[in-house]
Structure 1
Amino acid sequence: MDNQLTFRYATIADIDQLLFIEKTCFATPWDRASFEHEITINKHGHYLIAEYNNEVVGYAGAWFIYDEGHITNVAILPTFRGRKFGKRLMKALLILAKQNEVSYLTLEVRASNLVAQNLYQSLEFQALAIRKRYYTDNQEDAVIMRVDFDNNQTEEA
């Protein structure tokens, strides 16, 4: 196990690194204003940074509103994939959701992204429905996934 992988809350100082990750990982990346809003203004936004040996290698974000949660983004730089960093980052986000008394989390994932879907299924997410033509870059469908959990459970990331 890679003990050098750590997680922390994103700050305004992380925005340039978040933008780099977005542009590297996504066809329709978020812009600076979106991250500034999420990190400094959105009281429901929770963004975790994944660092490996003090280098930012990924991040995940979610909105927690009352007992509902929605995962907005999950990304690990391609050169750091295949090391279970994404799974550990997701586990950290699930723990954070439970600590905030969230009862369930939802997310959308590209229908073609089977690697991500398998990761989410390994964390007990289930496919619920399809959002037709959800992604604006190529009109690809999104799979809506959801996990429900008992807030009495505790895990390690």
Structure 2
Amino acid sequence: MSEQPTVRFMTVEDIDSVLNVEHNVFTVPWSKTAFMNELTSNQFAHYVVMEVSGEIIGYCGVWLVLDEAHITNIAIHSSQQGKKYGQALLEYIMQLAKMYGSKKMTLEVRVSNEIAQSLYKKLGFQVGGIRKNYYTDNLEDALVMWVILDE
């Protein structure tokens, strides 16, 4: 049985730990500056971290603009994947977005990332389109997925 994770809002002090997850999971990780700007300058951005035993093992960012929520990124450290932490984190952020008045949520996912796509579909997301050459590392397409949060 895995330990119960906790989720809380991300602070500037969390950036280095979040970067550890970011570099572990993504081929083109965000910079420290990008996270700093999201936390200090972007009025639409809300970021949460997931901790197990006091260690940050994942995070999720969402922009809340009018009645739409756009997931900027979501990641669970590879050493902690497969424990349903990603699902718990996404469910948390979906509830948070609803609390803030969002009616629908969107995200992009690599066309090759079938594990993530199946999680998103499990939580009600549907494919709404394709962004061609979205990812800068290999010009892979992204699926644009949407979910209505009221249902």
TM-score using structure 2 length: 0.97
Cα deviations by residue, 1:1-43 (Å, 9 ceiling, x for unpaired) = 7552000000000010111111110011100111001111211
Cα deviations by residue, 1:51-104 (Å, 9 ceiling, x for unpaired) = 011110000110001101100000000010110000000000001000000010
Superposition pairs of residues 1-40 of structure 1, within 5 angstroms = 2=2, 4-40=4-40
Residue aligned with 1:17, SS = helix
Residue aligned with 1:128, SS = strand
Q: Describe the shift of the 1:32–1:114 C-alpha distance in structure 2 as closer, same or farther (beyond 3 A).
A: same
- The alignment covers a number of residue pairs equal to 151
Residue aligned with 1:19, SS = helix
Find the aligned partners of 2:149 and 2:42 in 1 and give their Cα distance.
Answer: 25
1:93 corresponding residue in structure 2 = 93
- Which ranges of 4 or more aligned residues in structure 1 deviate by more than 6 Å? none
Find the aligned partners of 1:43 and 1:4 in 2 and give their Cα distance.
Answer: 31
Superposition pairs of residues 103-142 of structure 1, within 5 angstroms = 103-142=103-142
Q: What are structure 2's unaligned runs of at least 5 residues?
A: none
Superposition pairs of residues 34-113 of structure 1, within 5 angstroms = 34-113=34-113
1:143 corresponding residue in structure 2 = 143
TM-score using structure 1 length: 0.93
Find the aligned partners of 1:57 and 1:17 in 2 and give their Cα distance.
Answer: 8
- Code of the residue aligned with 1:17 in structure 2: it is S
Percentage identity across aligned positions? Answer: 45
- Cα root mean square deviation, aligned: 1.1
Find the aligned partners of 2:149 and 2:46 in 1 and give their Cα distance.
Answer: 18
